[in-house]
Amino acid sequence: MTRRHVPEPSAGLAGRVALVTGAASGIGAATAHRLAAAGARVAVLDRAFEPARTVAAEITDRGGEARAYRVDVSDGDAVTATVARVVTEFGRLDLACNNAGVPGVLADTADYPPSVWHRVLAVNLTGVFHCLQAELRQMRRQGTGGAIVNTASVAGLRGVPGASAYAAAKHGVVGLSTSAAVEYAAAGIRINVVCPGLVRTPLPTFATADFAAAHPIGRAATPEEIADVICFLLSDAASYLTGAVLPVDGGLAAGTVRP
């Protein structure tokens, strides 16, 4: 019996052009570094331009190719212009990770500040929509397929008391992504979702010691652990995977806390 060749997790990334939003820190920065280490050429996008430039410089110093771009993903025109600039400067777009997000505040629904609600939805859901539209249009024009990963959250799979805006946005990312995955599968464009649990990042979160302990694996993830899954989904090793919603959460979504 001939053994079928199984691609490496980074297969097909070398030389491809990848775009990562929210790439100035945390999961986005780790993903940009992982993609570059696998040979991809990386566009580092973030509203915080100087930290994004630092990430791009770190990649370049290690022999990779990266450029930083300032963009607020809640601004659809800015997203369209930035994706066009990436394509002009890199020549094409093959891969994208839409990761930019904000946490909002901790408040019960009746008391949730409407201004914060609108900002969370604008960045975490509408921002993904803006990016997805621009990326899909470019990949469709190229006619050579592509791969996209959107970052949701375990909050996109279950309710989170006190975080209604965040949970609503992340549930929306799941629905948006799976719908688009079906629409563009025949065009060879794969769209998948990662749903992290608690991740050790510099950004503010709703994390508490009790929340960390609720993860059956017993700890928070590192950004690199989430980035590894994202890079797998973007690679040819996941060539038959589209419309998938993957909890990367140490088992949090799979069970309940033991009494």
pLDDT tens digit sequence for 105-148: 999 999 999 999 999 999 999 999 999 999 999 999 999 999 99
Instruction: Answer yes or no: is pLDDT of 248 > 70.
Output: yes
Determine which of 9-18, 54-63, 146-155 has the lowest per-residue pLDDT on average: 9-18
| Exposure b/e, 17-49, CB count within 10 A at least 16 = b | bbbbbbbbbbbbbbbbbbbbbbebbbbbbbbee
**HEC profile of 213-259:** HCCCCCCCECHHHHHHHHHHHHCHHHCCCCCCEEEECCCHHHCCCCC
The tokens 């563009």 sit on which residue?
A: 184
Band (pLDDT 50/70/90 cuts) for residue 2 is very low
Return the pLDDT at 257.
46
Using DSSP, state whether 80 is helix, strand or coil: helix
Return the pLDDT at 212.
61
Contact 125, 176 (CB under 8 A): yes
Determine which of 14-23, 144-153, 170-179, 250-259 has the lowest per-residue pLDDT on average: 250-259
The residue among 253 and 207 whose pLDDT is bigger is 253
The residue among 45 and 215 whose pLDDT is bigger is 45
Instruction: Answer yes or no: is pLDDT of 179 > 80.
Output: yes
- Whole-number Å distance between alpha carbons of 250 and 35: 23
When pLDDT is averaged across residues 15-26 and rounded to a whole number, the result is 98
Return the pLDDT at 204.
55
Return the pLDDT at 243.
98
What is the percent of the chain with per-residue pLDDT over 90, rounded to a whole number? 82
Return the pLDDT at 203.
59
166 is catalytic: yes
What are the residues whose beta carbons fall under 8 Å from the beta carbon of 48, sequence distance 6 or more? 24, 25
Provide, for the chain, the percentages of residues in helix, strand and coil under a 3-state DSSP scheme, each rounded to the nearest 5.
45, 15, 35
Q: Give the chain's mean pLDDT.
A: 92
Band (pLDDT 50/70/90 cuts) for residue 1 is very low
pLDDT tens digit sequence for 180-235: 999 999 999 999 999 999 898 765 555 555 566 677 777 778 999 999 999 999 99
Return the pLDDT at 91.
98
Instruction: Answer yes or no: is pLDDT of 21 > 90.
Output: yes
- Among 112, 166, 184, 240, which one carries the catalytic annotation? 166
Determine which of 1-10, 25-34, 95-104 has the lowest per-residue pLDDT on average: 1-10
Query: Which pair of tokens denotes residue 51?
Result: 């930290």
